[in-house]
Amino acid sequence: MKINFYKKFIIVTYLLFSTIAFGQKIKLEGYGATGFKFFDRDILNGYNQETFYEGKLQAELDYNKEIEAQLDFRGNSVGNSAEFREFSVKLEYFETLTFKIGNIKRPFGYEYLISREELHTTERNNLYNNIEKLGYGGRSVSVMGYYKYSKKKTDFPYSYYVSLFKNNNLAQGLTGRFVYHAGEFSYGVSYMFQDFGGDEPITTQGFEVDITFKEDNFLANIEAFYFQDGNEGVRQRLIGGDETVYGMGAKLMSKLKLDVDGKFIKSIDPVILFSYYLPDTDVSEANQIQSLIGANLYLDKDVRVSVNADLRLTKNQFSDEYSTKDSRGIIEFLVRF
């Protein structure tokens, strides 16, 4: 039976507030965003200009000092749809170990641990979007043990995440991340193992390293990835090739905060981002390069206007020139609460 958008909205609202009614301490947070995207692409493949709007409503329910539950609902202008994005339970019985169970993020890489509304760009970078299609990132029903570094506990300058996940599509695996914090610097490393079942079973693995420098008004982050492509591996197996196909990528992001403290604009955060994606290390001619320049204009610490000029260059092994197709310009108004 097909349920229209309004019925979905009523059901989601009922589930949310019915659940909240049983919580003892309730915290609601989220964001709303709207704006325009301008694309460089053939009109036959989609509009050259799109409007968009989206939102997130997250409820955190504290039952006692050790148990917390979280519900996450999302909606967007793609099909005017709303979805139940996450349910998770957090169990905190130890000083340096917390357990989280539910449909949660896989902790692979620096950026996947950052919420969408906390990103310094309007979208996740091109490299992350590509490797997520291969299973490196995204969400799964998981059991995760972790500790997030706190400056209040300087005698334990580490963050770590170990997650076991299982999907309906016969995919299961392990994700781990470890970060060492040394003053303004942090050094991270991630590993992920995936086991895909079905008619053509295959196992894959990926590696990531990153360095981040962060102080009050400046942040810089660099990451490098080396990962196995299971989709291409199965295709190569079926045509008699080598099923071990590795790709690689790198990302550099830098953000500066400029305090303006004007009547309208309080601060301006210029952002630059570069990413490089090589799907197959044996075919170096086929790659994608992303160059993004942007700025976040803060009217308040939780209200911002973002402008991103995102140039994307794509090349395949049969061409000597890069295409600018799918490059985009984005203007977004975002409010956090």
277 belongs to a structural domain: yes
Q: State how far the Cα of 301 lies from the Cα of 335, in Å rounded to an integer.
A: 9
The enclosing H or E element of 116 equals: none
Q: Do 98 and 92 form a contact (C-beta atoms < 8 A)?
A: yes
Q: Does residue 50 fall inside a structural domain?
A: yes
Cα separation, 86 vs 104, whole angstroms = 7
The pLDDT score that the predictor gives to residue 7 is: 57
Residue 117 maps to a domain: no
Q: Decide if 22 is inside a domain.
A: no
199: domain range? 36-55+95-112+124-336
Residue 111 has pLDDT above 50, yes or no: yes
Tokens (6 digits) for 216: 């009050």
Query: Each residue of 178-237: pLDDT tens digit?
Result: 999 999 999 999 999 999 998 899 999 999 999 999 999 999 999 999 999 999 999 999
Question: Would you put residue 224 in left (φ > 0), alpha (ψ -120 to 50) or beta?
Answer: beta
Q: How far apart are CA 114 and CA 112, in angstroms?
A: 5
Predicted pLDDT of residue 1: 42
267-278 and 287-300 strand pairing:
antiparallel
Tell whether 1 is covered by a domain. Answer: no
H or E element that contains 128 = helix 126-132
At residue 209, the pLDDT reads 98
Residue 142 binned pLDDT confidence (cut-offs 50, 70, 90): very high
pLDDT tens sequence across 258-308: 999 888 999 999 999 999 999 999 999 999 999 999 999 999 999 999 999
Structure tokens at 158: 């580490």
pLDDT of residue 68: 95
| Range from 245-249, 277-281, 315-319 carrying the lowest mean pLDDT | 315-319
The total domain count for the chain is 1
Find out whether 70 and 59 touch, Cβ atoms under 8 Å: yes
Is position 68 within any domain?
A: no
Least confident of 43-47, 129-133, 260-264: 43-47
Let me know if residue 66 belongs to a domain.
no
Please check whether residue 87 lies inside any domain of the structure.
Answer: no
Query: Which amino acid appears at position 33 of this protein?
Result: A
Q: Are 308 and 122 in contact (CB under 8 A)?
A: yes
Query: How many Cβ atoms sit within 10 Å of the Cβ of residue 65?
Result: 8
What CATH number does the domain containing 222 carry? 2.40.160.10
CA angle, 258 then 263 then 269, to 5°: 20
Which token pair is 155? 């005698």
